[in-house]
Amino acid sequence: MAAPKTTTAKAKQAATPAQASAPKAEQDANAKSAQSTPSATSAKQAPATELPGVFIRTKRRVKSRRRAGFRFNREGVGISLELLSEQQLKQLREDPALEVTDCTFPVDDANTTPEA
């Protein structure tokens, strides 16, 4: 009876590495999806803390400039991208008298209504 037990034990040992590799691959796949899922869901659930925008000011030799419905000077003005159409943003970026820099604004400090 000792011989059948060793044969069964050898059969289990031979099957174990093959079985172990299949679950390990599944575990790796599950681990990767688990890692990507929380970050994706947390990004969707977390409130935005910053708004994308542009900071615009005139170049050194230009004191003041009006473009796309806004007035700019050397001090500069930050504008949320929500307030600009694609056409306005294109006009601002192509104006040789303006320096346009992409930036973000803290949500607490942002005013998303245009000034009168």
What pLDDT is stored for residue 33 in this prediction? 47
Query: What is the reported pLDDT for 106?
Result: 87
The CA–CA distances, whole Å, from 29 to 23, 36, 50, 80 equal 10, 11, 34, 41
Q: Could you give the CA distance from residue 52 to residue 111 in angstroms, rounded to a whole number?
A: 12
- As a whole number of angstroms, the distance between CA 83 and CA 8 comes to 74
1, 47, 53 from 89: Cα distances, Å: 86, 26, 10
CA distance 79 to 101: 11
Residue of 38 and 112 predicted with greater confidence? 112
Percent of the chain whose pLDDT exceeds 90: 46
Q: Average of pLDDT values for 101-105?
A: 92
Give residue 107's pLDDT. 79
Is pTM beyond 0.85? Reply is no
Please name every residue paired with 67 in a beta bridge, in sequence order, or none if there are none: 70
Share of the chain above pLDDT 70, in %: 53
- Of residues 9 and 111, the one with the higher pLDDT is 111
Q: pLDDT tens digits, residue range 34-91? A: 454 444 444 455 567 888 999 999 999 999 999 999 999 999 999 999 999 999 999 9
Bridge partners of 78? 55
Q: Answer whether residue 116 shows pLDDT above 70.
A: no
